Chains A and B, each alone.
Chain A
Amino acid sequence: MADIPIISVSNLSKSFGDVRALKDISFSVNEGDIFGFIGPDGAGKTTLFRIITTLLLPDKGEVTVMGADCKKNYKEVRRNIGYMPGRFSLYMDLTVEENLNFYAIVFGTTVKKNYDLIAEIYSQIEPFKNRLAGRLSGGMKQKLALSCALIHKPALLVLDEPTTGVDAVSRAEFWEMLRNLKKYNITILVSTPYMDEAMRCDRVALIQGGQLLSVDPPEKIRDKFSRKLFSIKAFEKYKLIMALREYPGTFTAYPFGDSVHVTFKNDMYDASLKDFLAGKGVTEVLVTETKAGIEDRFLELMEKK
């Protein structure tokens, strides 16, 4: 079924009172892909995921999951989806094992039947199976919630900000777990506010203010950056940023880690740049051309809006 998208969304809009949470959104997700939604808080990620998981109704537009309409055939859609909301929906007063059994029973299956699917993840918390979910660490809760979302062997796994508030090591481990699920051909829809996680996805939608800025494989997002990008370093960063903003040839200048990412109006700079900076008291200047990252492209797309 390579030709039928697992998720198909066309012209979707949703408002809450005066707030337009989603504005005419269209995209599709192919089977077996890890499809990422990347955007800040308030971009519309959670609203979109709630519509896809049939927990909210759209105002306008069509949404289907494996061909089933999310409005009319919501029961069928629900059977095919494993959903892990932002605040893990675990029962804190049930044990680890009770939570897992509960999710299995709700979906009419057993833990035994689909154990192979979760074995790699669940085995890490199984030694604590008699502990209450409320007494697990953040990383362990995350593993249990993922096991619960997978236990009925869904075709589509929907994860709303699974790595928010988790430390770097647990975050890396979580992405490894998702990668390992590829062999079961489960399609994964995942959202995150962290641009660096885009590289872990097969395709990425950048979302901001309820609108899609782009949908592409991650390496393509970077390639689409339309200008030459330069990384500039100096000892005093703040002075450097302010001086670059004043330099007549500058098009954009944004702080970026330990450097400033700069584009120039003519896509190049000449000796006048260093003279100008020196005149502003900025010394030890180092300029190198650099490759744009996801965040650079996101910034560029935001400027165009």
Chain B
Amino acid sequence: MIPDKKVISVRNLVKKFGSFVANDNLSFEVCEGEIFGFLGANGAGKTTAIRILSGLSSPTSGEVIVAGFDAHKQPEQIKKNIGYMCQKFSLYEDLTVKENIMLYGGIYGIRKQVIRERTQSLLERLNFAEYGDRLIAALPLGLKQKLAFSVAVLHEPKIVFLDEPTGGVDPITRRQFWEMIYETASRGITVFVTTHYMDEAEYCDRISIMNEGKIVALDTPAGLKKQYNVDSVEEVFIRITRPGKN
């Protein structure tokens, strides 16, 4: 992680839908190579913020710079410089592993020769050689997740957004996945994780917690646990989003 190199810089971001304020004056920064957890209860405003950060929606007001581009004026450049993985929808089930890689490589405008080279090295790195010609539908969940992640960073984006990346897999597969995330971050790619599973949050360098449109906490997992004097991020989350009940 390089603390003084910011790849996401958000200042006073406001997003309104009519009179409803979905993002209420958000300000935060994310560094190059950082693993940043973006947490919040359902309806807290996470999805709205991510859509803005990934160039799919424009802010009502405030400054949002992603990978050096302005979310107001340059959403197309933002899209080219980010990757996105969500557990359910990122791969085409009725295409093979190789076909999926070709498709995504093509969408991101990578030259055919380069796609071929990257496909080869990717299959080797994942010990995937025997799976190259298999349909996605026939792969175990753990392999699908690893492949989906690899495809999301195929074009070497500045930032990759992960939506609940490790739900439902066994503890070993899950750790192999986090090691891939660490490896990616160590190459300088920023990993932006959204999840409502607090045990995933424990793996991040820093986390933010949203509640009712605002960021109400932002620190390292250890820092937050210390501040609230509890043992897990889950307890921090419950203290913040359900005050008075615990």
Contacts and interface: CB of A to CB of B under 8 A. Distances in A.
Interface of A: 39-43, 137-139, 164, 166-169, 172, 193-196, 208, 236-239, 241, 254-258, 295, 298-299, 302
A258 B186 contact: no
Contacts of B18: none
A244 B178 CA distance: 16
Contacts of B234: 168, 172, 196
A169 B167 contact: no
Contacts of A257: 199, 202-203, 221
Nearest to B180: A238
A198 to B, nearest CB: 12
B170 A208 contact: yes
B242 A169 contact: yes
B237 A137 contact: no
Interface of A is mostly: mixed
Contact of B168 (A41, A138, A239): A41
B198 interface: yes
A137 B179 CA distance: 35
Contacts of A237: 182
Contacts of B42: 137-139, 167
B139 to A, nearest CB: 12
Interface of B: 41-43, 140-141, 167-173, 175, 178-179, 182-183, 185-186, 196-199, 202-203, 220-222, 232, 234, 237-238, 241-242
Nearest to B177: A255
Nearest to A233: B222
Contacts of B220: 258
B199 A238 contact: no
B199 A194 contact: yes
B141 A42 contact: yes
Q: Which of A164, A195, A238, A254 gathers the greatest number of chain B CB atoms within 10 Å?
A: A238
A167 B196 contact: yes
Contacts of B221: 257-258
A298 B170 CA distance: 9
11 contacts: A40-B141, A40-B168, A168-B197, A169-B238, A169-B242, A194-B197, A196-B234, A238-B183, A241-B182, A257-B202, A258-B220
A166 B182 CA distance: 27
A295 B171 contact: yes
A302 B199 contact: no
Contact of B170 (A137, A164, A302): A302
Nearest to B43: A137
Nearest to B200: A257
A299 B202 CA distance: 18
Contacts of B185: 238
B170 A40 contact: yes
A299 B171 contact: yes
Given A169-B241, A169-B242, A236-B186, A302 B171 contact: yes
A172 B232 CA distance: 13
Contact of A254 (B41, B169, B175): B175
Contact of A302 (B172, B196, B197): B172
Contact of B171 (A42, A164, A241, A298): A298
Contacts of A137: 42-43
Contacts of A298: 170-171
A193 B169 CA distance: 8
A218 to B, nearest CB: 15
